[in-house]
Amino acid sequence: MKLSVLFDHIHKILDTIPGIASTAHTLKSTIHRWILAGGTPLRRIADFLHGVWIGHPLHPILTDLTIGSWLLGTVFDVLSLFTRSPRHQDMADTLTKIGTVSAVPTALAGMTDYSTIKKEAASFGLIHAAINSIGLALYILSLRARERGERGQGIGFSLIAFSGLAFSAWLGGELVYRFRVGVNHAPTTPKPEGWTAVLPADSLSAGQSKRVMINDQAILVYREDGGIYAIGAVCSHAGGPLERGTFKGECVQCPWHDSVFNLRDGSVVHGPSTYRQPTYQVRVIRSQIEIRVTPEQQLQR
């Protein structure tokens, strides 16, 4: 059997677990509501865990540390079974401990991302989280057994945990490569480079937003008392329609998962998105609103 066929089978099985889709959706929405209800302080913590401060999702970076430590710990565990070397045993214990401690922020970052995951990916996200939680619990048991001197039992717990985590890591990969979770959904080479008329100036009143299409790219044009703004209309987080968002001052809040972007420079004010929106210069010439990609973005090509 081809591996891709096997993976498709696994997908079907996971998708048909009774109640999984509704449970996953309810859980993620509850966590998201809880974060929003916490106001700015909780939102800032969530922004940190999403990775807004580094302009990249934080969770996959942390998983490298956690999985890497556990993997190396497993290698030294197996090695120590043959060599009986105290050095190898110490290495295994230390790496298992590093992996377990680092799993806490890794899990928190994952849970924060899960709170705003796409609906179609929520079931996979929940199973991924559940397996990882069981894995973490087994690693804690492993560390306790090691401390008691019951090394064989400790290694046993670690090996069972790592087998489950290997499957869960595949699920994590599917979330990114199949469901495009954490991937930038906004165009990375925005157009147009030259001034292009997009709307008659009198067709947009103050407080009004419109989506226009230029070269197959959707652009949000918004007028407020201070001027006219144009940024990518496709939310970089998961493709939400920003023209249907909530506008406040110089910011727009996505209608899908509440990312907030600055309309002036496209920067992320609040996650879950970690990627800025494409931004455009705007001018009004002969009663037409014209836009072009900002020179900085042209230089980045």
Q: Which of 106, 196, 273, 297 binds ligand FES (CB under 6 A)?
A: 273
Which part of the chain contacts ligand FES (CB under 6 A), choosing from 35-43, 209-217, 237-245, 284-292? 237-245
The answer to whether the beta carbons of residues 173 and 160 sit under 8 Å apart is no
Total residues binding ligand FES (CB under 6 A): 13
Q: Which of 28, 257, 276, 292 binds ligand FES (CB under 6 A)?
A: 257
For ligand FES, the closer CB: 114 or 157: 114
For ligand FES, the closer CB: 107 or 238: 238
Type of residue at 142: S
Q: Which of 76, 139, 256, 275 binds ligand FES (CB under 6 A)?
A: 256
How far apart are CB 155 and ligand FES at their closest, in Å? Answer: 42
The binding track of 101-120 with respect to ligand FES, each residue x by CB under 6 A or -, is ---------------x----
- Edge to edge, the sheet with strand 196-200 lists 196-200, 288-293, 279-285, 227-232, 217-224, 209-214
How far apart are CB 123 and ligand FES at their closest, in Å? Answer: 18
Q: Which of 46, 181, 254, 263 binds ligand FES (CB under 6 A)?
A: 254
The binding track of 129-168 with respect to ligand FES, each residue x by CB under 6 A or -, is ----------------------------------------
Q: Is 261 in the site for ligand FES (CB under 6 A)?
A: no
Residue (of 164, 107, 172, 166) closest to 131 by Cα position: 164
What are all long-range contacts of 168-172, with beta carbons under 8 Å and residues at least 24 apart? Answer: 168/127, 168/128, 168/131, 168/132, 168/135, 169/63, 169/67, 171/124, 171/127, 171/128, 171/131, 172/60, 172/63, 172/128
Structure tokens at 23: 């449970």
Residue (of 150, 123, 115) closest to 237 by Cα position: 115
d(CA 256, CA 270): 13
Contacts of 87 (CB under 8 A, 6+ apart): none
> In 170-235, at which residue ranges do the beta strands (DSSP E only) sit?
196-200, 209-214, 217-224, 227-232
How far apart are CB 26 and ligand FES at their closest, in Å? Answer: 18
Which part of the chain contacts ligand FES (CB under 6 A), choosing from 95-103, 146-154, 193-201, 252-260? 252-260
Torsion of CA 141, 143, 146, 147, to 10 degrees: -110
For ligand FES, the closer CB: 52 or 254: 254
What residues make contact with ligand FES under the rule CB under 6 A? 116, 235, 237-240, 254, 256-259, 272-273
